[in-house]
C-alpha cells in the first residue's frame, strides 16, 4: 500500500518531484510502474523512520 503524498521542487535541469510509499520493493516498484517513472530519473531513495507509522521510502525523481 502506498501513500499518494507528493511535492514539486524546481531546479535548472528539470523539475524534481517526490513521493512516499511503504518501504517494500513491491510497493516501490508498483508506484514507479503506475506513474510511468523511468528508473534513470530517480535521484535518491531514502528510507524514512517509521515512528509513529510504518517505515516509508521517500523517492525524489526528475521530470523534464
What pLDDT, on the 0 to 100 scale, is given for residue 6? 59
Domain count, the chain: 1
What pLDDT, on the 0 to 100 scale, is given for residue 12? 60
Residue 61 lies in a domain: no
Residue 57 lies in a domain: no
What pLDDT, on the 0 to 100 scale, is given for residue 52? 80
Domain containing 34 equals: 2-48
Residue 8 lies in a domain: yes
Q: How far apart are CA 18 and CA 58, in angstroms?
A: 7
Residue 58, CB-side half-sphere exposure with 13 Å CA sphere? 7
Q: Whose CA is closest to 50, among 26, 23, 24, 19?
A: 23
- Phi/psi for 48 (5° steps) reads -95, 145
Residue 28 lies in a domain: yes
What pLDDT, on the 0 to 100 scale, is given for residue 62? 96
Residue 56 lies in a domain: no
Could you tell me whether strands 2-10 and 15-22 are parallel, antiparallel, or unpaired per DSSP bridges?
antiparallel
Q: What is the pLDDT of residues 2-61, one digit of tens each?
A: 555 556 655 467 899 999 999 999 999 999 999 999 999 999 999 999 878 899 999 999
Amino acid at each position: 500500500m502506498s501513500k499518494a503524498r507528493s511535492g514539486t521542487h524546481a531546479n535548472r535541469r528539470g523539475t524534481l518531484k517526490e513521493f512516499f510509499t511503504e518501504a517494500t520493493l513491491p510497493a516501490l516498484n508498483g508506484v514507479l510502474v503506475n506513474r510511468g517513472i523511468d528508473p534513470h530519473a530517480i535521484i535518491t531513495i531514502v528510507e524514512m523512520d517509521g515512528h509513529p507509522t510504518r517505515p516509508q521510502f521517500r523517492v525524489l525523481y526528475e521530470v523534464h
